[in-house]
Homo-oligomer: A and B are copies of this chain.
Amino acid sequence: MLRNDLVLRALRREPCHRTPIWIMRQAGRYLPEYRAVRSKTDFLTLCKTPELAAEVTLQPVDIMEVDAAIIFSDILVVPEAMGMPLEMIESAGPRFPSPIRSRADIDRLIEPDVSQALRFVENAIRLTKRELRERAPLIGFSGAAWTLFAYAVEGKGSKDFKHAKKMIFSRPKDAHDLLRKLNRVLTNYLLLQIEAGADAVQIFDTWASLLSEDAYKEFSLQYIHETVQTVKLKHPKVPVIIFAKGANTLLRDIAETGCDAVGLDWTIDLAKARWELGDRVTLQGNLDPTILYASPERIREHAAFILKKFGEHTDTSGHVFNLGHGILPDIEPSHLKALIDFVKIESAKYHQNMQTAPSMN
């Protein structure tokens, strides 16, 4: 049994004595301990060596005392496992030197047995769970089909993702075939992570903001819906979080996929999001990551403001504190620690009006 299950309780909208916190990209370059491991190996080897992946996954639990670990990996291991060579160039970001453009490119992509092709993630999760010794839950994750599609078709990060956009608008049938293929594999990949021990999973739709509302529903949300339904059918108790960055006018549609929690970027007002979604789902977020550049005093002011925006907890409300996007690589670790320590203490006062006695772990 987990000694700290606050994140899971919050994701299930069960009473908590305080708001739990974890941080997107919490295992990463801002931590000197991460850089020490990373200096001896390249990024993809780190992802693919379970001992190293487990080591950096545990660092923020040990050092920052976050309430959950998230397995160290990259969303692009999925298209790589489908046959796309992947390059990780430090300064330039990830790159697929042979992006998917033609019908033949789509047909050539394989749908691997994920328990073979992505066994390194399964092993990293098993090892991390062992080394966590029930101190905190472990979150697994995948990119959404649309975000994987955007990278696979474009070949790299981009401002406009014009090749990806061209494909959906000019060849929607091809686009859907590719999205379906990606979605089948990533759904199996999420199931694999849960079967290996992941206590919750998050779907990252980083490039949600590229699409109009209708295009988002057609080219992304229907696939997320399918994934959530499949995961919940097999593992009804494992919480599923959806983080669709920038999709702030579609929060209700996202909540209707059947997920347990909706991740929010910092541009939506948390009070407004709670008002709009009620307590149908847990909300995760949403401090502006650049606030961590300010002094600990200012950070605490802004964090207090986020907690106040969410407001009083009820028996059926859920909030998981997080940033509105990944932590930036040049943040001072002591600033993040100040945030985490503060949220743990300050949030307690919003959890006092519940009917049920909250869990004290």
Contact = CB atoms under 8 A, between A and B. Distances in A.
A189 to B, nearest CB: 28
For A209, A267, A269, which residue has the most chain B Cβ atoms within 10 angstroms? A267
Interface stretch (A27-35, A120-128, A165-173, A191-199): A165-173
Contacts of A213: 267-269, 272
A174 to B, nearest CB: 13
B166 A293 contact: yes
A267 B288 contact: no
A291 B160 CA distance: 11
A298 B212 contact: no
A213 B249 CA distance: 13
A184 interface: no
Contact of A288 (B212, B268, B328): B212
B209 A290 contact: no
A295 interface: yes
A211 to B, nearest CB: 7
B214 A170 contact: no
B328 A160 contact: yes
A166 B290 contact: yes
Interface string A201-242: 000000001011111100000000000000000000000000
A246 interface: yes
16 contacts: A160-B328, A165-B288, A166-B293, A166-B294, A169-B291, A169-B293, A170-B294, A209-B267, A211-B288, A212-B266, A212-B269, A213-B267, A213-B272, A214-B269, A216-B267, A249-B268
Contacts of A246: 209, 246, 267
Interface of A: 160-162, 165-166, 169-170, 209, 211-216, 246, 248-249, 266-269, 272, 288-291, 293-295, 298, 302, 305, 324, 328, 330
Contacts of A160: 289-290, 328
Contacts of A324: 212
Q: Which 4 A-B pairs have the closest CB atoms?
A: A165-B290, A169-B294, A213-B269, A166-B293
B212 A293 contact: no
A246 B161 CA distance: 17
A330 B162 CA distance: 10
B170 A298 contact: yes
A171 to B, nearest CB: 9
Contacts of A295: 170
Contacts of A305: 214
Given A160-B289, A162-B293, A248-B249, 12 more contacts: A162-B290, A162-B328, A166-B290, A169-B290, A170-B298, A212-B267, A212-B288, A213-B267, A213-B272, A214-B269, A214-B305, A216-B267
A217 to B, nearest CB: 10
Contacts of A248: 248-249
